[in-house]
Every structure is written in structure tokens, then in C-alpha cells.
Amino acid sequence: MSTPTILVAGTPEALADIGTEFVPATTPAGPHLSALGIIRSEWIKLSTVRSTIWCFAVLLVVSMGLAAIMSLALDLTGTDITTVPGTDQARFVAQASSFGVFFGQLIVAVLGALAVTGEFTTGMIRSTLTAVPKRLPALWAKALVLFVATFVAGLVSNIAAYVVTVSIVSGQGLHASLFAPEVILPVLGGSLYLALVAVFALGIGTIVRSGAGSIAVALGVILLLPVVLQMIPATWASDVLPYLISSAGISMFGLMQFAKVPLDWSVDLIIVLVWVVVSLGTAAVLLKRRDA
Amino acid sequence: MIQAQSLTKRYGSKVAVDAIDFTIQPGTVTGLLGPNGAGKTTTMRMIVGLDRPDSGSVLVNGQRYQDLRAPLREVGVLLDAKAIHTGRSARNHLLAMAATHNIPKSRVDDVIELTGLTSVARKRVGGYSLGMGQRLGIAAALLGDPGILILDEPVNGLDPEGVQWVRKLMRHLAGEGRTVLLSSHLMSEMALTADHIIMLGRGRVIADAPVAEIIGQAGGATVRVRSPHATRLATLLAQAEVTVVNLEQDVLQITGITAAEIGDQAAAAGIVLHELTSVSASLEDAYMSLTRNEVEYRTGGTGDEEFDDDDSDTTDAATDAAANDDPDPRETELQEAAR
């Protein structure tokens, strides 16, 4: 047996004693942990797995495809297009351009869940947490990188969908600028909602830890909960409906309304943010507390 | 330098690590040895903050691992080869790890070369063999050029060449003044690599001493003597530090005196010897006898059902360890190398 070191456990003085008595507590000079480094690390991780590439590719294709279907289905026979107000034309273009978000929310939810459950199921999380032993900086960096990447991917998909829409409906004389407020706001709002859903699912993934389990929970909340509530005939069910993450998110950029009296977009945004904060906050508490 | 003080970890009602104290010195290779379930991995996980101790503390260079400013550059850790995302290439994995500490790309390429992964570095880790995964884990541990290395079963899955490479690497790193802690249940490997052994059994430190001393504790060097005048010889050799055990009618097992000394004394007294053999205990003997004692102690001490179950587990683990000697050709080779 080696001689046990006698010291008062837990006090900073005791800890300092060990440092000076045996080895000077040397932090090697040179590179060290930094917030920027952790963010860069999370970007490398997100961009070097196939699931990310696949999810964003599917998002792009689905957005463009739905825009095409919606535009081709538009039948203006018998309508004098010159009599349709510009704002109505813009609204149609905006709907077709952002329709992909309906399905996109499911795709980015899967992406968000996989971004972290992939680490838990492969054991990668242990490498992550030994590199960032305070743990939470890794979660925040992951959330930030996922948010930005998904927002950009959503924006690209929506703009691509706009291009598809315009190129089809212009044949019928319909026109709308991308930068018309009726178009650009839904395009931006839809992308913002997608990015927030991804972060929401990231939180679920961190809580549940298994890939299949967290995808089921995230999709259940986004897809199943509104359907179930709409099937319940009680008034409370229809009262609760606008406060679901997907209802608030979809109505945020004007695609559909779920409340009897439409909520202001800022209220919708706050509702979505609350869902995200609760999910990510719970994830942070559990990540910090649990053994990895 | 790693220091643990009353370090304790429970999983539910089971105590995985039971108030252990140890100090791991720089410049040596320290082996953490014990049967499966002895608490080796849990101890290592607590050192790097993956598991939170229920009580007690463990400090790395005088600080909690979580408080280090550059953890990867102070401690390199290989807990299991599977701590890597299977969908990513080795190089991207190492780049992501390096990025957290702003470690330059050139260092990533250096450790890839050092561990012999250059040809597969851009392939996805999912397709790696156990040995390649192990090399990648070692590359990740070396990434920050750390002063402390913690490696859980580093030779697991490596071919004989790889085993020898790891052994040399560990010796070399300790020679540079680094602290090296490695765990294994391969006694022969430990005997070749480690200077110092901390033996764990059922979450407690059973032994903490230099390798030679541990072997000594298991009886040290014994001498086997066959003589028609065994009784006379036993009387002749009777001294304070000499132990004589009468194995058979004319066979003695003697400790505390060398074979040469016995031969000299017997010749002087005119005693005929038919056999005089030096039998040195191995680390394996020490391990078996120490872990067996632990089991017996526990059984005698309590005897309730829970402990009975645990005892059978430990016995199984010991049997596993013993079984490791034969069926696996790689390990047989190691055993032979050790002898």
C-alpha cells in the first residue's frame, strides 16, 4: 500500500496543497480548451457524418418537389391575372415556397436527434466529454452549430423552392419578388422554425439517448400530438392546440392558423422558443448530472 | 501524478469502488490489475470525470479533471476502442477532438503516422478491425502529447506486433517522465510492462506495490527439495526467516533461503539430496492467490445470499482470467513471452 495522503477532502486549500507539495500544478503552455475551438469541433462532427448530408439533401429535394406540385396544380383558367392583387400573388408564391417546411420539420427533427444520439450509441460521447469535461459547453456548441447549419439549409431549400415556384407560375402570368414582404418573411420564418425544431430534437436526443427512442418522441410531439388533439372533441383540446410547437411554428410564418383568433407571429415565436428552452434545459441538467 | 482519496462509486446497492486510496507516480508504468468487475474501468472513468464519485476525490496533477484548462494536453485516455462515431473517418475524428483544444492539424497527422493508421485514416471507423480501433484510441490519447496516460486494456485485440509496440511505447513514455496507468487482466503483459501494480478486487485495493514485491507476497522464490533425510534437513535449516513445509514424505518446500545455500548446508552435513529445484512465483500466482484470499475473506465474513452470489461472480472472473491463458493463441504467445 502506498501511504495515503492525509488531507481535508473538498476544501480548496487541501486541493492546492496537493498541487504544490508533489507536482506544481502545471497547465502546459500552448493550445487549450476554448469556446471557439469547441464550436469548430462540433462543426467538424456535424459535417463529417453522412446523416447530415442526407437530411439536408432530402430537405432540399422535398422543398423543391412540393413547390413544383403546388405550382403545377394551380389552375387560373378563366381568371384575368391582371385583376389579382400583387399581394395575393405574392401570398401564393410564399405558400408554395415554404410548403416544404411541413415535411422539413420532420427531417430536421431526425437530424437533430441523430446529431447527439449518434454519439451516445457509438460511445463517441465519452471522447467528447473527456475533451470537454465541463460538458455544457459541448452541448451549447452543438446546439449553436446545428441551429446555424439548419437555418442555412432551410433558407437554401426555401429559396430553391421559390425559384421552382416562380419559374412554373410565371407561365400563367403570376409574379412575386423574393424580397416582397409577403414572400421573404415566410421564407425566413420557415427557416428559423426548422432551425429551432432541430435544436428541440437535439434536446430530446440528449434526454432519451437512444436514436430510435428520441426520433419517436420528437416526431410524436411534432406530428402526432396535433392530430390527437384535433380528434378530441373537448374545447380544451382546441384551446391547447395553438400552443404546440408545430402549430405555433407553422402559423408563425403564416402557412396555416390553428387558433380561433390568430396569434401574433411574435407570440408564436415565443411559444416555439419555450418548447426549445424546456427541451434543451432539461437536456443540460441531465447531461451534467448523469454518468456518461 | 494521480491521487485518489477514499474514492467510492456505487451503482444502486452494488459498491463498484469501495473507498480506495492510491497515488500513481510519474515516470513509472502502473498497472491496474484485477478480475472482471473489480472496479478498474470505473476507477479510470472517475479519474477523467465520466463517472461522478459518490464520495472521496481523485485529483490529476493536483486538480479535478473537470477543472483542467487543457484536459487533453494533461491526460490522454483510452477507455475503450468504441468511444468513436462509426460513421466518421479516423482523421476527421481526430481533427474534431484536436479542434476543441486548438491542437494543430500537423499533430493529428503525426499521431496517425505514429500509430500506423496512415493508410486507413480516411476510411470510416465502422469498418475497422478491433486492432485498428485500438490504435485509433491510442492515437486519440496521444493527441495532446499529455503528461499522463490512462489506458484501459490497451492491448485488447492487437496482434503480437501491436502488443509489443504498445509495451515499448508505454515504457518509452514512462521513461520520458510521464505517468502511465494501464489496466489489464493479462498478468503476463503486466509483468513485462508495469513497474508497479495496484491490484483491485471487488472494489478494494488488495495490493499496491512494485511488481517484484507483489510476486514476493505470493510466496516469493521457493525451493523444492527431495531427500531421503528430509526430517534431518528440515531441522538443519530451521531458522527464523526460513519456512519449511513437508509436502510429501521426502519432499520439502522451503522459502526464505536460496537453493545454493540449501545445497551447501546439506553437503556440509552429509545429507543426500535427490532433487533441488528453484521455483519462482509468477505475477499470475500472486494474482490468483491474492484474489482467492479476497473471496475467502468475504465468504467467511458474511455468508448472506448477496455475497454468495458475488463470490461466484468473482470465481468466474478468476476462472475466465485463467482460461485466457490457453484458448487464445495471441495470449498464449504472451504467456510464453513472459516466461
User: pLDDT tens digits for B248-259?
Assistant: 888 888 877 888
Residue B310: pLDDT above 80?
no
pLDDT tens-digit map of B31-45: 998 888 889 999 999
pLDDT level of residue B296 (50, 70, 90 thresholds): very low
Comparing CB atoms, the residue among B52, B102, B207 nearest residue A34 is B102
Which residues share a beta bridge with B14? B11
Q: Is residue B150 scored above 80 in pLDDT?
A: yes
Element (H or E) spanning B2, and its range? Answer: strand B2-11
- Tell me whether residues B3 and A18 touch, CB distance under 8 A: yes
| Assigned C-alpha cell, A156 | 437554401
Please, what is the end-to-end C-alpha distance for chain A in angstroms?
30
Whose cell is 491542437? That residue is: B103
Strand, coil or helix: what is B180? strand
pLDDT for the residue B71: 95
pTM for this prediction: 0.80
Is A38 in Cβ contact with B87 (below 8 Å)?
A: no
Subunit contact A48:B88, Cβ cutoff 8 A:
yes
| B286, B32 Cβ separation under 8 angstroms | no
Residue B329 pLDDT greater than 60, yes or no:
no
Of the listed ranges A246-255, B186-195, B318-327, the least confidently predicted one is B318-327
Mutate to test the interface with A, among B61, B100, B199 (most CBs of A within 10 A): B100
pLDDT class of B300 with cuts at 50, 70, 90: very low
Q: Please classify residue B163 by burial: count the beta carbons closer than 10 Å to its beta carbon, then call 0-12 exposed, 13-18 middle and 19+ buried.
A: buried
Print the SS3 string covering chain A. CCCCCCCCCCCHHHHHHHHHHCCCCCCCCCCCCCHHHHHHHHHHHHHCCHHHHHHHHHHHHHHHHHHHHHHHCCCCCCCCHHHCCHHHHHHHHHHHHHCHHHHHHHHHHHHHHHHHHHHHHHCHHHHHHHHCCCCHHHHHHHHHHHHHHHHHHHHHHHHHHHHHHHHHHHHHCCCCCCCCHHHHHHHHHHHHHHHHHHHHHHHHHHHHCCHHHHHHHHHHHHHHHHHHHHHCCCHHHHHHHHHCHHHHHHHHCCCCCCCCCCCCHHHHHHHHHHHHHHHHHHHHHHHHHCCC
Cβ distance of B84 and A122 shorter than 8 Å: yes
Q: How much is the pLDDT for A279? A: 97
**Strands of the B55-60 sheet, one edge to the other:** B14-24, B2-11, B55-60
**Alpha carbon of A61: minimum distance to chain B alpha carbons (Å):** 23
Least confident of A74-83, A225-234, B297-306: B297-306
- Helix then strand count (H, E) for chain B reads 13, 13
C-alpha cell at position B4:
485518489
Average pLDDT of chain B is 82
**Residue A99: other Cβ atoms inside 10 A:** 24
Out of A36, A48, A130, name the one closest to residue B50 (CB).
A130
Closest alpha carbon to B97 in A129, A290, A202 = A129
Q: With an 8 Å Cβ cutoff, are B66 and A31 in contact?
A: no
Closest residue in A to B62 (Cα–Cα): A19
Q: In this structure, are residues A157 and A60 in contact, taking their beta carbons and an 8 Å threshold? A: yes
